[in-house]
Structure formats: C-alpha cells, structure tokens
Amino acid sequence: MKKSAAWFLACRPKTLSVSLAPVLVGTAVAWHETARILWLPFLAAIFGAACIQIGTNLFNDVGDFLRGTDSPGRVGPRRATAEGWLTPAAVLRGAWLAFALAFICGIYLVGHGGWPIVIIGLTSLAAGWAYTGGPAPIAYRPLGELFVLVFFGLVAVGGSYYLQTFSLSPLAVLAGALLGLQAAAVITVNNYRDLDGDAANGKRTLAVLLGRPATCHVYSAEIFTPFALLPLLSSLGWPAALPALALPLALRLNRRFRQEQAGAVFNSILAASAGLQLLFALLLSLALSI
C-alpha cells in the first residue's frame, strides 16, 4: 500500500465528522443567539478539533498494536501499524505532529478566548493522548462512551459557543449533550464489534463489562435520547422538529445493530452511526439558523 493511502486510512476519515459536527452546532447556537459569526475562531476551532481527533486516532493505532490488541486480520478496519504499512515510530510522530498543529491553533484561540480556552485545549489534548496512552488508557476501561460524550459533545459544543460569545448558555449545553450522546454511539458500535477480541486481551470496555444484550440497549439509548429531548428546543418554534428528519436513519441503524451478527458488517454500521450524528448536527444547525 502507498504511504499516502496508509496515512489517509490511519486518520480514520469516515469518523472525523464526530469532531467537526459539534463545532458547527456550537457556532450555530451562537448565531441563533447573537446573529453573528466570528469566522476566524470558527475555522481555527474546526481545524484544531480535526487535528486533535486525528492525533487521538494515530495514538490509538500505535497504542493498540504495541499492547497486542490489534493484529493483522482483525474484525474491524485494518490498522496501519498492525498491518505493517507504517512503523510505530512514524505513526507516533504523526500523532504528535497532529497535536502540535492543534496546539498552534490553540495559541490563536487562547489569545481570542482567554483562560477558559487554555483549560479546554490542554484538557482535550491530554485526554486525546490518555485515550490509548499512559498506564491506564481510557479506551481500555468502561469510560470510552463517557469520554466521547464529554469531549465530543459538551466540551466541543460549549467551547465553540464560548469562542463566539465569551459566555455559556443552557441551549449550548443541551445541544452539546445531544451531539455527545450520538458521538458515544459510534464508540459503542466499535466496542460491540470488538467485544470478543477485547475481552481476550484484557480490554475492559463498557461492552465487555455489560455483554452484548445490554450493549444493544445502550446503543438504542444513545441514538434515540437526542430525539426524545427535542421538545426541550421548543423555544425555536417549528424548526425544532427538523432534526427528527434523521429518525428513520436511526431506526434502521438500531434494527441493524440488533439483528446483524457481530463481525465486519459493523464497520459499515459504525460509519453510518457517525453519519447519523452528522445529519442530526446539520439539521439542528439549520433549525438554529432559521
């Protein structure tokens, strides 16, 4: 495989929308409440968020390989380090480069937003490294879904809103929870697919802890709760119903999750779950912009 293709796959482009959608929604909430957008902070936040997720993905790629969790022939998508397409040292350098680019964006955003952005930025970078790195990786504990709910939901939406308004509103917090729940569903699909291998390798994800039947209920709760909470957006008027247009996709995904046998088919369910979150985010952003 060409190096460029290996790097592209290692960045996991099919799920990058999980980090970009919250920035869009946080900015849309700010537009709804202030009728303005500060474009440079928005673009810097988009680029920084993408770099943090890419760096986290690369740390995960090499970290799982070094711990023996990933190997050639895994059920999930093939990993660059495990397949030998890229060396562990090269992937680590790539991860640190992505974090360095995010840090550079953060310098500008700190100048714009002050100390709250320092806290958000450094915590996000540390959490991205700790997801697979360190003595007690988050991904190896039943905390992955909570990690994503917090950082790819509440923090990402709230931080993006703050960059536009220098404040935090209840609507931004609610929107962060909605996006975070659907982002957590992506991790649930990943962990459900890998449950058997993770259990054999001592990886104690929430799916390993709960088992397959209970994890099906977790996935359903993650993708349907945001729709159940839409009435809380009633202050938007009729546009609050727009995100419900994504409900048919959620119903199909839930049915597939429950009916399909665990295996490679869950790779497409994972990508579609990320797509569900993106569609929900786009419709919510439209509702906030009308």
CA distance 20 to 53: 9
Q: How confident is the model at residue 67 (pLDDT cuts 50, 70, 90)?
A: confident
pLDDT of residue 51: 95
User: Is the CATH code 3.30.2450 the one for domain 17-289?
Assistant: no
Confidence of residue 79 (pLDDT cuts 50, 70, 90): confident
Name the token pair of 228. Answer: 């159940």
Report the alpha-carbon distance of residue 243 to residue 71 in Å, rounded.
Answer: 39
164: its two tokens = 């536009």
* 3-state secondary structure (DSSP) of residue 98: helix
Residue 78 has pLDDT above 90, yes or no: no
Percent of all residues in the chain with a pLDDT value above 70, rounded to a whole number: 98
The whole-number average pLDDT for the span 41-59 is 94
CA distance 158 to 25: 9
DSSP SS3 for 211: coil
- Helix axis angle for 17-34 and 39-66, nearest 10°, is 160
Residue 71 predicted with pLDDT over 90: no
Report the distance separating Cα 19 and Cα 10, nearest Å: 16
Confidence of residue 74 (pLDDT cuts 50, 70, 90): low
How much is the pLDDT for 50? 94
Residue bearing the bigger pLDDT, 280 or 196: 280
Weakest-pLDDT range from 77-91, 167-181, 238-252: 77-91
Q: What is the pLDDT of residues 200-209, one digit of tens each?
A: 888 899 999 9
What value does the mean pLDDT take over residues 72-91? 84
Judge whether 283 and 217 are in contact, CB under 8 Å: no
User: In the structure encoding, which two tokens stand for residue 129, read together?
Assistant: 């490294």
Helix ranges restricted to H, the chain: 3-10, 17-34, 39-66, 88-113, 115-130, 144-149, 156-165, 170-193, 195-200, 206-210, 212-228, 247-259, 265-289
Report domain extents, the chain.
17-289
What is this structure's pTM? 0.93
Of 204, 119, 193, which is closest to residue 159 (Cα–Cα)? 119
Q: Per-residue pLDDT averaged across 172-190, rounded?
A: 96
Q: What is the mean predicted confidence (pLDDT) over 52-67?
A: 89
Tell the burial category of 217 from Cβ atoms under 10 Å away from its Cβ (0-12, 13-18, 19+): exposed
What are the tens digits of pLDDT across the range 121-162? 999 988 888 887 777 788 889 989 999 999 999 999 999 999
Residue reference for tokens 């809103």: 161
**Mean of the pLDDT values across residues 196-217?**
92
Distance CA 249, CA 187 (A): 18
